[in-house]
């Protein structure tokens, strides 16, 4: 038992003359944030990126509140938001704000879920819309929508469907401690099977029910607002302590298991915890807004490239997800007005090319 203290004194007494505290021992590109007993490592570039994203998100939100019929000037939007009581209160605060808030909260949740699951699997493809969680929710929702069940049943059914699919994927991928490849492969297989089942249910259903299910499957924010936002926000709030831990725990997700064990971590338990949190968030948000594709896949990857870190950054991915979904919903509302496109159609249309651009730019730099 004297071993650790002795090791410490050996190090202390031989204290190198070079050991004048210098910048070298600080972590490059990071600052320390001290708040009472807290001391957190903050990546300086993430702070910068996050600040820019917050500004862009605010601008996109104001734009979304402003555009439409009737058009409300941004100054009037801000005036209405300040609670001054304006003639635009009905349009801005009651009709448009709930949907914009929902888009932001849901986008953030997709970003968080994608970051957690992708980091655990060390694979950008391991996003909830690729590995079967979205498809599980989709199948359950389709069954609910086509079987004449009450509308209130759809979201809980989708939540349950997403979670069941996740449990199946995790169980299939769990051998060898959630080895990345296996986990993704299991997820893709489950996703395909569930998608096929969903098709069968839709084809055999009444045409009108099938169409409702189709819209749900693409994911739309139309006709949704505070209630859905509250459910998603509530889930994120409840998971906040877990997410705070996850932000730290993700730092070691890039290490291989032996190295992680060597520095005193339990990588398998850690992955199950992180993946579990990601699955919960993904199932929750999908149950509320439908199968909005691509946000969970693209937001973490774009955020990672903007921050230039080795793994997706949690906060920036959440902000980017929020920005992406607010823009997609705005575009869906306005692009072909008065026809509304579901937000889920446009997330891929906006996010895809941007990721392609980043990939091309990254390849040029690394070659």
Partner 1 sequence: MLSTRDLVAGYDERTVLDGLDLELPADAFTVIVGPNACGKSTLLRTLARLIAPRSGSVLLDGKAIQELPTREVARRLAVLPQSPLVPEGVTVADLVGRGRQPYQRWWRQWSEEDSAAVERAMVLADVAGLADRPVDTLSGGQRQRVWIAMTLAQDTEALLLDEPTTFLDLAHQVEVLDLLHRLRVERGRTVVAVLHDLNQAARYADHLVAMRAGAVVAAGPPREILDADLVREVFGLDCVVVPCPVTGAPLVVPALTSPTLATTTVVPSGAAPSALDATSPTGSTGVTPAGSENALAGSYPSEGH
Class of residue 30 by CB neighbours under 10 A (exposed 0-12, middle 13-18, buried 19+): middle
The DSSP annotation for 209-274 comes to HHHHHHHHHH---TT--HHHHHHHHHHHHHTHHHHHHHHHHGGGTTS-HHHHHHTT--HHHHHHHH
Considering only residues 218 through 247, tell me which ones interact with partner 1, judged by CB under 8 A.
Answer: 244-245, 247
Cβ closest to partner 1, residue 29 vs residue 352: 29
The answer to whether the Cα torsion of 76, 81, 85, 91 is positive or negative is positive
> How many angstroms separate the CA atoms of 363 and 192, rounded?
31
248 belongs to the binding site for partner 1 (CB under 8 A): yes
Among 25, 150, 207, 208, binds partner 1 (CB under 8 A): 25
Is residue 123 a contact residue for partner 1 (CB under 8 A)?
Answer: no
Q: What six digits make up the tokens of 170?
A: 């995790």
Cβ neighbour number for residue 240 with a 10 Å cutoff: 10
When the beta carbons of 37 and 83 are compared against partner 1, the nearer one is 37
Contact pick of 158, 194, 249, 320 for partner 1 (by CB under 8 A): 249
The count of C-alpha atoms lying within 13 angstroms of the C-alpha of 235, restricted to the half-sphere facing its C-beta, is: 25
Position 258 contacts partner 1 (CB under 8 A): yes
Closest distance to partner 1 from the beta carbon of 319 (Å):
21
Does residue 259 touch partner 1 according to CB under 8 A?
yes
Residue 207 in the binding site for partner 1 (CB under 8 A): no
Scanning 84-92, 255-263, 273-281, 325-333 for contacts with partner 1 by CB under 8 A, the matching segment is 255-263
CB of 152 to partner 1, least distance (A): 38
Residue nearer to partner 1 on the CB measure, 302 or 345 = 302
Does residue 171 belong to the site contacting partner 1 (CB under 8 A)? no
Residue keyed to tokens 């509304």? 340
Residue 27 near partner 1 by CB under 8 A: yes
Name the residue nearer to partner 1 (CB basis): 82 or 258: 258
Q: Are 79 and 86 in contact (CB under 8 A)?
A: yes
Q: Measured from the CB atom, is 24 or 150 closer to partner 1?
A: 24
Residue 367 as a binder of partner 1 (CB under 8 A): the answer is: no
CB 322 within 8 A of CB 103: yes
Considering only 14, 69, 82, 367, the residue that binds partner 1 (CB under 8 A) is 14
* Smallest distance, partner 1 to C-beta of residue 361, A: 15
Phi (first) and psi of residue 39, to 5 degrees: -140, 110
Judged by CB under 8 A, the residue of 59, 196, 222, 266 near partner 1 is 266
Site for partner 1 in 35-94 (CB under 8 A): 37-41
Residue in this structure with the two tokens 């877990």, named with its chain if needed: 242
- Give the tokens for residue 62: 């104001």
174 binds partner 1 (CB under 8 A): no
Alpha carbon separation from 11 to 2, 23, 99, 256 (Å, rounded): 15, 20, 59, 28
Give the integer Cα–Cα distance in Å for 143 and 158.
9
Choosing from 11, 58, 73, 95, the residue that interacts with partner 1 (CB under 8 A) is 11
Binding mask 289-318 for partner 1 (x = CB under 8 A): -------------------xxxx-------
Is 261 one of the binding residues for partner 1 (CB under 8 A)? yes
Residue 203 contacts partner 1 per CB under 8 A: no
List, as one string, the DSSP characters of 311-327: S--HHHHHHHHHHHHHH
Please answer whether residues 96 and 361 qualify as being in contact, where contact means their C-beta atoms are separated by less than 8 angstroms: no
Q: Which is nearer to partner 1, 14 or 69 (CB)?
A: 14
Residues that bind partner 1 (CB under 8 A): 1, 3-4, 6-8, 10-11, 14-16, 18-19, 21-22, 24-30, 32, 37-41, 244-245, 247-249, 251-252, 254-256, 258-259, 261-266, 308-311
């Amino acid at each position: 038992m004297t071993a650790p203290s002795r090791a410490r004194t050996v190090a202390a007494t031989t204290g190198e003359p070079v050991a004048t505290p210098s910048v070298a021992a600080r972590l490059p590109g990071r600052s320390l944030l001290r708040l009472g007993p807290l001391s957190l490592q903050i990546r300086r570039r993430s702070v910068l990126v996050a600040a820019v994203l917050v500004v862009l998100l605010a601008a996109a939100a104001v734009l979304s509140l402003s555009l439409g019929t009737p058009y409300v000037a941004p100054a009037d939007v801000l005036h209405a938001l300040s609670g001054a009581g304006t003639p635009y209160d009905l349009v801005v605060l009651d009709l448009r704000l709930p949907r914009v808030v929902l888009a932001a909260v849901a986008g953030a949740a997709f970003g968080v879920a994608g970051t957690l699951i992708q980091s655990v699997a060390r694979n950008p493809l391991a996003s909830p819309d690729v590995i079967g969680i979205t498809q599980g929710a989709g199948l359950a929702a389709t069954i609910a929508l086509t079987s004449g069940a009450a509308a209130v049943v759809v979201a809980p059914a989708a939540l349950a469907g997403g979670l069941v699919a996740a449990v199946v994927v995790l169980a299939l991928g769990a051998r060898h401690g959630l080895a990345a490849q296996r986990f993704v492969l299991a997820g893709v297989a489950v996703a395909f099977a569930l998608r096929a089942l969903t098709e069968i249910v839709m084809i055999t259903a009444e045409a009108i029910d099938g169409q409702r299910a189709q819209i749900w499957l693409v994911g739309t924010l139309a006709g949704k607002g505070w209630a859905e936002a509250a459910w998603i926000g509530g889930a994120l709030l409840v998971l906040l302590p877990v997410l705070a831990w996850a932000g730290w725990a993700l730092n070691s997700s890039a290490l291989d298991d032996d190295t992680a064990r060597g520095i005193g971590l339990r990588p398998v338990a850690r992955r199950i915890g992180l993946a579990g949190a990601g699955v919960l968030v993904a199932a929750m948000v999908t149950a509320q807004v439908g199968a909005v594709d691509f946000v969970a896949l693209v937001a973490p990857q774009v955020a990672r490239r903007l921050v230039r870190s080795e793994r997706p950054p949690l906060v920036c991915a959440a902000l980017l997800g929020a920005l992406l979904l607010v823009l997609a919903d705005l575009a869906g509302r306005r692009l072909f007005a008065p026809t509304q496109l579901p937000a889920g159609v446009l997330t891929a249309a906006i996010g895809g090319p941007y990721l392609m651009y980043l990939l091309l730019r990254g390849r040029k730099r690394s070659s």
